[in-house]
Amino acid sequence: MTSIPSDRLSTESGSEASLLSIPAQETSQSPSKVLVVEPHPTLRTVLVQRLRQDGHLTAAVGSAAEAIDLCRDQSPDLLVSAEILDKSSALRLAQLLGCPAIVLTARTGVEPLVGLLNEGADDVLRKPFGLEELAARCRTLLKRGRIGLQERVAVGPLEVHLLLRQVTLRDKPVELSPREFALLCALLMPPGMVRSRQELLRMAWPPFSGGPRSVDTQVLTLRRKLEQAGLGEGGGVTTVRQQGYRFSLDNLPE
């Protein structure tokens, strides 16, 4: 595959175009082409930088019209796009480009998310989101094609429904805030791995927000809710001194 030509990118900030000159990491397979469509220039730059770290040939534009012009001669392997675009939408753009799409939405509640999936989105990510979560979803979707993202992660009696952003313990719902849900997902990828505060910030917080104290505060609230749900002392979240946090169900009551 050839790289999307940088001279056809919008250069209002210049950063996206200049970054395209960085060669992708050499692998045994051709790198995937990812197109980011995001009106906000700062977020657009941050997203393209993170996806390039995984070796993807990544371009970024701010509108559907620019995306169509950019992809006149070739289609991307994956579209990462804001839900609402000027005179268009992420779903219509994905249909025009003929590629799978991860839709970035600011809407809350389960119904809009389910609606986007039913209308053809391959995955939906609700803002604010962590960069590592986006990167993981891109890797999964590119690997599986249109089969889509794994819908559930189960650890003992705890089930995390990734697409619906719901958590159940022994089939009973556990109410978590969007930040607590993102933090739990970060601790479960995979379970038992120690995650530093900085890693958790990258995985569960939006760019340029939060700090180590924010992580500690959210861990406390997550623990309390998981404890109240019946997941044992500490809710399965263990502090590893001078390292960070890990999730384990070793002390789960019978």
SS (H, E, C) the chain: CCCCCHHHCCCCCCHHHHHCCCCCCCCCCCCCEEEEECCCHHHHHHHHHHHHHCCCEEEEECCHHHHHHHCCCCCCCEEEEECEECCEEHHHHHHHHCCCEEEEECCCCHHHHHHHHHCCCCEEEECCCCHHHHHHHHHHHHHHHHHCCCCEEEECCEEEECCCCEEEECCEEECCCHHHHHHHHHHCCCCCCCECHHHHHHHHCCCCCCCHHHHHHHHHHHHHHHHHHCCCHHHHEEEECCCEEEECCCCCCC
User: Which of these ranges, 3-17, 46-60, 134-148, 232-246, has the smallest mean pLDDT?
Assistant: 3-17
pLDDT at 83: 92
Write down which residue in 129, 147, 165 finishes a domain: 147
Residues 106 and 192 in one domain: no
Residues 45 and 71 in one domain: yes
**1 domain residue, yes or no:** no
Residues 138 and 55 in one domain: yes
pLDDT greater than 60 at residue 6: no
For the domain that residue 14 is a member of, what is the CATH number? 3.40.50.2300
Residues 52 and 139 in one domain: yes
Q: Give the range of the structural domain holding residue 41, as residue numbers without chain letter.
A: 6-147
Residues 33 and 142 in one domain: yes
**92 domain residue, yes or no:** yes
pLDDT at 249: 81
For the domain that residue 238 is a member of, what is the CATH number? 1.10.10.10
Which one has a higher pLDDT value, 74 or 49? 49
Residues 135 and 27 in one domain: yes
Write down which residue in 147, 169, 192 finishes a domain: 147
Provide the residue count of the chain: 254
Q: Give pLDDT tens digits for 165-223.
A: 789 999 899 999 888 988 898 888 777 888 888 888 877 776 556 788 889 999 999 99
Measured distance CA(214)–CA(19) in Å, rounded: 31
Residues 31 and 142 in one domain: yes
**252 domain residue, yes or no:** no
Measured distance CA(58)–CA(249) in Å, rounded: 39
Residues 39 and 121 in one domain: yes
Residues 140 and 18 in one domain: yes
- Contact of 181 with 113, CB cutoff 8 Å: no
Measured distance CA(57)–CA(9) in Å, rounded: 14
**254 domain residue, yes or no:** no
Residues 166 and 233 in one domain: yes
Q: Give pLDDT tens digits for 180-189.
A: 988 898 888 7
Measured distance CA(182)–CA(179) in Å, rounded: 5
Residues 143 and 165 in one domain: no
CA dihedral 196, 231, 176, 38 (to 10 degrees): 40
Residues 25 and 122 in one domain: yes
Indicate the average pLDDT of the chain: 79
- Tally the domains of the chain: 2
pLDDT at 8: 36
Write down which residue in 104, 132, 147 finishes a domain: 147
- Mean pLDDT, range 50-79, rounded to an integer: 86
Residue type, 253: P
Measured distance CA(99)–CA(230) in Å, rounded: 43
